[in-house]
A = this chain, B = another copy of it.
Amino acid sequence: MNTDTHTLPASYLQMHSTVTQDGQLRVGLGQMPIPTPKDNEVLIRIEAAPINPSDQAVMFGWASMQEAKTTGEGANTVLTAPVSPEGMKAMKARIGQALPLGNEGAGTVVAAGSSEYAQSLMGKTVAALSGQMYAQYVVVDAHACLPLQDGHTAKDGASSFVNPLTALSMVETMRMEGHTALVHTAAASNLGQMLNRICIQDGVDLVNIVRKQEQVDILKDLGAKYIVNSSDDNFIENLTDAIHATGATIAFDATGGGTLASSILTAMEAAAARTPGAYSVYGSIKHKQVYLYGGLDTSPTILSRSYGMAWGVGGWLLPNFLAKAGEEVNTRLRTRVAKELKTTFASRYTQELTLTEALQTSHVSDYISKATGEKFLLTPHK
């Protein structure tokens, strides 16, 4: 092992989330011994890691976060929250396990294994996907690192994976499953903005669903062509018009709960009914799909089923898609992200938090609300 001029401490802090047998969620910091990278591994000093909704799903799971409390100070800070019996059932497989957190982040390679490639990364700023990024250090496979271009900081590269690959994979999924245009909800989000930039570049029609006029304005400024506000009285009519104009038969919904997925299918069916030959006595013929990739609304999904028989609703998760898509697609998407990191895939952060700040209920209630335009960055070394 070769270490940088940077002097390594004997141990480091790593954030964990645990569901205890007695119905409590505990999120806290563990003092871990600094690991030694193996031949093909590198040790990254993590400088920036975003708090994504997918990270929060693991951090907080099905706990009742409105009853969360923070106790202790510094490295002993612990966030606790009660978990309902239904929540315990849903999280049965993780009871008693201290799960590490944080899917992505970036920092400096401060130690490397003996292999030539690992050694070549020494001192470089890299981004990585690991599931253990809410920590001061992490060991990852050298080939899993995305070396950033010169002049790009850890903060620039912190969100290189989840949102960029999710947005790109939505368009890939659309193509693979035989659709030609798509619908996206919570469309003014950081992810939604990336998706608009991709679709404009690639000439793919995108129907954006938002809830507020200010979100309409954000997307208009980006050049979005189809924007529908779900708070408008004639929402379903406007949505049907946009779906008819684009021919969208697949949607990605970040909200998950309530009737939005069903409304999208209803509008797709109404759009198909306007097209002669697209309709049978069992409803429209073309398969209509809504993927729920997030859970901003944790209430049950309600499906009216008033859209014939050719429809599907299901969960969509980036790692599952990438595993199915294969190596060629993975490489192509990552290469595009690295090239367009400061343009198409640029993220803006509204607040930076240290590991202990991120466990304070005052901050948790901010980032858990997932307000449009707000994005939080963890800085484990500040």
Binding site for B on A (CB under 8 A): 54, 57-58, 62, 86, 89-90, 92-94, 99, 131, 256-257, 262, 266, 269-270, 272-273, 279-285, 287, 289, 292-293, 295, 300-317, 319-320
Interface pair B99/A282, CB less than 8 Å apart = no
Give the residues in chain B near A269, CB-CB below 8 Å: 90
Give the residues in chain B near A94, CB-CB below 8 Å: 279, 281
Rounded to whole Å, the gap between the CB of A259 and the closest CB of chain B is 8
Give the residues in chain B near A86, CB-CB below 8 Å: 304, 306
Give the residues in chain B near A307, CB-CB below 8 Å: 90
Interface pair A305/B301, CB less than 8 Å apart = yes
Whole-angstrom CA separation of A304 from B300 in the bound complex: 5
Interface pair B92/A273, CB less than 8 Å apart = yes
Q: Can you name the residue of chain B whose Cβ is closest to the Cβ of A304?
A: B300
Give the residues in chain B near A99, CB-CB below 8 Å: 281
With a 10 A CB-CB cut-off, give which of A270, A282, A316, A319 has the most chain B CB atoms: A282
Rounded to whole Å, the gap between the CB of A250 and the closest CB of chain B is 13
4 further A-B pairs in the complex, CB-CB below 8 A; given A89-B266, A93-B284, A285-B320: A86-B306, A92-B270, A300-B305, A302-B302
Interface pair A314/B315, CB less than 8 Å apart = no
Q: Can you name the residue of chain B whose Cβ is closest to the Cβ of A284?
A: B93
Interface pair B300/A89, CB less than 8 Å apart = no
Q: A282-B57, A313-B313, A317-B310 are in contact. Are A295 and B301 (CB under 8 A)?
A: no
Whole-angstrom CA separation of A99 from B303 in the bound complex: 27
Rounded to whole Å, the gap between the CB of A95 and the closest CB of chain B is 10
Q: Can you name the residue of chain B whose Cβ is closest to the Cβ of A269?
A: B90
Give the residues in chain B near A295, CB-CB below 8 Å: 305
Interface pair B93/A279, CB less than 8 Å apart = yes
Whole-angstrom CA separation of A251 from B310 in the bound complex: 17
Interface pair B315/A308, CB less than 8 Å apart = yes
With a 10 A CB-CB cut-off, give which of A257, A266, A281, A316 has the most chain B CB atoms: A281
Give the residues in chain B near A256, CB-CB below 8 Å: 305
Give the residues in chain B near A300, CB-CB below 8 Å: 262, 302-305
Whole-angstrom CA separation of A54 from B273 in the bound complex: 20
Interface pair A281/B58, CB less than 8 Å apart = yes
Interface pair B317/A270, CB less than 8 Å apart = no
Rounded to whole Å, the gap between the CB of A257 and the closest CB of chain B is 7
Interface pair B310/A315, CB less than 8 Å apart = yes
Give the residues in chain B near A89, CB-CB below 8 Å: 266, 270, 306
Rounded to whole Å, the gap between the CB of A16 and the closest CB of chain B is 12
Q: A301-B302, A305-B292 are in contact. Are A313 and B310 (CB under 8 A)?
A: no
Whole-angstrom CA separation of A228 from B54 in the bound complex: 36
Rounded to whole Å, the gap between the CB of A379 and the closest CB of chain B is 24
Whole-angstrom CA separation of A304 from B256 in the bound complex: 10
